[in-house]
Structure 1
Amino acid sequence: MNTMSETIVLYDGYSEMNSDDEMSANCSCTLITGPHNVIVDTMTAWDSELIINGLKKHNISPNDIHYVVSTHGHSDHVGNNNLFMKAKHIVGYSISHKDKYFIYPFDKGEEYVINDGVKVIPTPGHTMAHVSVLVTTKEGTVAIAGDLFEKFEDIENPDMWKDAGSEDPIQQRKNRSKVACLADWIVPGHGPKFQVTDQIRDALKKQASE
């Protein structure tokens, strides 16, 4: 079986403060095609038409999706999971299909393998049940990292991801470094995809040791 997959960022995430008590934010939404079709992070509940239209551009319908992965359970990452009625759903550490729930030891560090080129790994920090998706592609390994990374700029300015909320900053720093060492590209939760350089890996490794 050809296990090579492709990642397509349907929509770049964003986040910005509008005032002291209001912000605008939405998550990156990413399609993985290959032996299995996977959608990662389904935006807010107001974005169903956006997702349907984004998939249609790639000749895919919601019924063609085999897996939905929500990197964590915040509302801007799970808003349209119910579009995908035939898929198995992975929301953080929870795996389900209809009313059946499958116990999986993400909390013990186990990876969930969808196929030889796509796996879901535990990356706690932003939330304690946060996961990331690693995809083998022609351009290298792509990590769809949810809010483990807020956006590219948070590497130089870690206050960005800390201010976005972190249930365990120590684990988040370690997992940010871990994912950067595994990936050639990162799709962050609230910004465009970026390439991982040795300079980035060194910066994150230093931050993880602080």
Structure 2
Amino acid sequence: MKPNHFPGLSLTECGLVFPGQPYSACVLKAGYSVAQPDGTFKADGTITLLTGPRNILVDTGGPWDRDFLLGSLEERGLSAGDINVVVGTHGHSDHVGNLGLFPGALLVVGFDVCRGDTYVDSGLARGEAYCVDEHISIIPTPGHSGQDVSVKVRGTASGELLVAGDLFENYQDESSWRELSLNPALQQQHRQRALQTADIIIPGHGLPFRVTRGAQEPQEAS
């Protein structure tokens, strides 16, 4: 079942910038995953910046993205030291390859939450949300790996936004996500819940997409 084949839903790719109060979101880099003729595949994770009371980076791309990431922050008047929170939605190299650029930030990688070498009990492993503040919460969404998380952002002009990591590969991923999943049944549960609650989903390897509920007939995204 494709995401845009859930009854009453239609999905449409949308832009990279989502203004809001108090947080805005900007996709610095849309991830990709492309099969190669020799059986390998090229992949990189989506990098998303949330700006507001805190500067929050969700996924850092692979280590090959170092200069791109620093340059993208500089274009927005930020340095690595201005990032308050870094979230790695899971531990794969194309999502957490630049954690070392942010030693002073609060780090959330999967279910681990630490500042420097001090770790805190986040509750994520027990299925609880970890709240950064009243507008930003980190929720456990395992399935793709054993400790996936997604970041929920309230208050954007587009509605509730979910930075989903590899919970979704892209907005038409039915042919790919199951074969990459450690636990497809569990991941499917979290995917369905996300489609029922989020207005915008930022996937791990593609452009953001909009979820519209209440459509009479599901529609293919144009």
Q: Distance in 1 between matches of 2:126 and 2:116?
A: 25
The TM-score normalised by the length of structure 2 is: 0.85
Runs of 4+ that moved beyond 2 A: none
Q: How does 1:1-210 map to 2 (within 5 A)?
A: 4-136=22-154, 137-154=156-173, 158-163=174-179, 165-198=180-213
Q: Which amino acid aligns with 1:160?
A: S
User: What is the number of residues matched between the two proteins?
Assistant: 197
Q: Larger RCO: Structure 1 or Structure 2 (Cα < 8 Å, ≥ 6 residues apart)?
A: 2
Tell me the C-alpha RMSD between the 2 structures: 1.7
TM-score by length of 1: 0.89
> Identity over the aligned pairs, expressed in percent?
40
Structure 2 residue ranges without an equivalent (≥5): 1-19
Q: Could you say what secondary structure the match of 1:152 adopts?
A: coil
Structure-2 separation of matches of 1:3 and 1:94? 28
Letter in 1 for 2:135: G
- Deviations 1:110-146 (CA, angstroms, capped at 9, x unpaired): 1011011111000011012100000121221110000
Could you tell me which runs of 5 or more consecutive residues in structure 1 were left unpaired when the two chains were aligned: 204-210
Deviation digits for residues 18-43 of structure 1, max 9, x if unmatched?
12431110010000001111000101
Amino acid at match of 1:38: I
**Bigger proportion of residues as helix:** 1
1-structure distance, mates of 2:175, 2:192 = 16
SS in structure 1 of the partner of residue 42 of structure 2 = strand
